[in-house]
Structure 1
Amino acid sequence: MNTHIESPAVGVTSRRPAILALALVAALAFCPSGAVLATEKAVVIPPPADDAVAANASTSETAVLAGGCFWGVQGVFQHVKGVTNAVSGYAGGEAGTAHYDMVGMGHTGHAESVRITFDPKQISYGQILQIYFSVAHDPTELNRQGPDVGMQYRSTIFPSNPEQTRIAKAYIAQLDRAKVFGKSIATTVEPLKAFYPAEAYHQDFMTRNPDHPYISYNDLPKVDNLKRVFPDRYRAKPVLVGTGA
């Protein structure tokens, strides 16, 4: 199911406004002061016991992660120190279907994903995953995140090499054993066939549209959680697509 209603000509996108309106009403009902409650709460989790070794790291690596709407996942990692770029896109399907209107139908195999380029001497792959599981999305939701439903919104890690596969699988098992989420993790680990950048109007969407109702309710609280839970990892100025700064 495609939960976006888009207007590429003006670059404005809306996600399920009726459901969002109901969510806002429900939030206000439980918050007499009028402040909107965050749709997701951060879960404080331990770091991975098995992680990459910084001493042997290259100058640049990538991680491809899917965790619901790519606006929020991209926005979170754009505020992470050591991240040099974060691009919204599609992974899991074929090149011919890597288009928003097709992915939104939920039958292409693609997931809305983010390709995160990072300096492994500043932040490890395991630390990237810790932020992903803790604040970027809810890894216990199966084929959905918040108001967005469908395979294209699944929680998936797309490792680019055997070491990333090992770290990801070991960390999922570690967190499940510790029962830090209270229920099983739904995140899958799938081979990375290729990553296809999304359309330009999806890039840097959080930064360009901070007052968009979907962003303010669903995604800005994730950045607040990043700042609160990982203060040493937080950077105030986001690294935007193509700027490298």
Structure 2
Amino acid sequence: MAVARGLRSNLLLVQNILRAQKSGSPSLASNELLRNYATASGSKEMKVKVPLTLFGVSGNYSSALYLSAVKANSLDKVETEINDIVEATKKSPIFSQFIKDLSVPGDTRVKAITDICSAAKFSDITRNFLVVMAENGRLRQLDSIAKRFVELTMAHRKEVKAVVTTVIPLPPDEEKELRETLQDIIGQGKTVKLEQKIDPSILGGLVVEFEQKVLDVSIRTRARQMERFLRVPINFDSI
């Protein structure tokens, strides 16, 4: 009960801070294979733009996948399939090691990925994308590419991901209050997608992350702040 009451008081503090803050206020492909993949699916006359400009290898690949999936009108299906194969790498150490091992010949990687996609009945968009990754030796970066792809799909749906970390799960009514507060901060036209994480190491309180902002009112952080304060020597001449 004490933990729950503390969580409730910290939620109110978070809401007040968030509202106060409110009131105060691409190159796609790195090689020919990826360029060909990005333009091969769907109508070439269809004009599609990525909703976010992403950089680096993961940005280039995820943007190419997004363009192809949107042109084929299969964004949701492709997102599910990509997430499924990422989960498979987490559940199978052998599969995870396979996609990271650059010593595996390219044709072996391509055949294995093709067989996996066929068995899973993946769409042509996903299969072809994974084959391009296998040919380019990029399967080891699948997890980071998948995360950037999800960023694009969320932006496409005008969703904003917010992560709240607590010691115990937020009760439904408090989760609803926090979601509504964040929605008020973010404004109309976007939808908050709230994700809860449990981390006993924060000791209590809340940590809220959204739109590259972090609001940390955890007991762990407060304790560290107090420790730093206590370590500062007192200047008696100023008293």
Asked which structure has the greater CA Rg, the reply is: 2
Identify the structure with the greater helix proportion: 2
Q: Which has the higher contact order (CA 8 A, sep 6+)?
A: 1
- TM (normalized to structure 2)? 0.21
